[in-house]
Amino acid sequence: MTTTSPDQRPDEAILEFLRSPFEPEWREPALGDDAVSVWESENRVVLPEPYRSLVAEIANGSSLGPPEDGGLLPLGWLPPDWPDLGDRDPAALFPLQGTWAWEGEPLAEDHHERVAAVYNHGSVVLGTDDGLSYWVLVVTGPQRGKVWLVTDVGAYPYPMPNALGFLAWVQRWHAGHGWWD
pLDDT (tens digit per residue) in 92-101: 999 999 988 8
User: Residue 1 — very low, low, confident or very high, per pLDDT cuts 50/70/90?
Assistant: very low
Q: Which carries the bigger pLDDT value, residue 40 or residue 1?
A: 40
Identity (one letter) of the amino acid at 116? A
Per residue in 142-152, pLDDT tens?
Answer: 999 999 999 98
What was the pLDDT predicted at 101?
85
Q: What is the separation, in whole angstroms, between the first and last Cα of the chain?
A: 32
DSSP element (H, E) containing 120: helix 111-120
Nearest CA among 55, 156, 54, 143 for reference residue 94: 143
